[in-house]
Structure 1
């Protein structure tokens, strides 16, 4: 079941992000940052356990980012990640945000829902503020992609 995250989900989201940040798949996030952004997150819950999460963070009046997409290994390849991304895109549409971007190492996944590759220079400089926390900085291997909602 996909739903908006609650404060009680943060410890699970934190563990998922911590796990995948160790493999370099996502940027680490502190607990305080997750609590501050709890309203950005959707989660996938199986019984009483949160096994996947994804956030839609608003950057500006016309731009948002999909970030921190994490799916527990045993739940991967079941469409959960895709469903979470679609939930974020639906929320962007409801909020009337015309463009959503993602920085990813798996562009094929995001192409499935209409994202197209773009140049980093097309994104505002503020977008790159998280990059300094990435273990791969400054040798970024992420692909910037964007989707026009309207």
Structure 2
């Protein structure tokens, strides 16, 4: 069993730790701790019945009516429990409540996001993302992530 909730101040170091663990296998990009604190309100966390953080996911507003689901991580022990899909759905629900029109991801696990309703798109439809974040990424311009988008409205 697990509970998904908005992140709190005491969660930042745990979020940083589980993201750092996933950067080793190149599934998510690294996020410095100061970035986690600066964007803490973007994050949802999943905690198990003992109160341990077992997953995280963030909804980052990018531009007018556009947001990104990012930093989706589920610890190995909790994989296969549908937790990742439920965390993405929490982000999508918040996006709807905020009036976001489109939500995108950059991912290496396109089958997962396709099952949730995202469709592949071209990076050129995301110029705000490319120039705000991607330009500073160590993988730029040779990124192998697939851009996918979901229309909410």
Q: TM-score, normalised by structure 2?
A: 0.93
Name the SS for the 2:22 alignment partner.
helix
CA RMSD of aligned residues (A): 1.1
Match of 2:134 in 1: 131
Aligned partners of 1:93 and 1:56: how far apart in 2? 11
Name the SS for the 2:133 alignment partner.
helix
Name the SS for the 2:55 alignment partner.
strand
Unaligned 5+ runs, structure 1: none
Match of 1:14 in 2: 16
Match of 1:119 in 2: 122
Is 1:32–2:34 an aligned residue pair?
Answer: yes
CA 1:135 to 1:73, structure 2 compared with 1: closer, same or farther past 3 Å? farther
Aligned residues: 149
Aligned partners of 1:61 and 1:132: how far apart in 2? 20
> Residues 1-150 of structure 1: matches in 2 within 5 Å?
1-46=3-48, 47-124=50-127, 126-128=128-130, 129-150=132-153
Aligned partners of 1:133 and 1:4: how far apart in 2? 27
Post-superposition shift, 1:68?
0.2
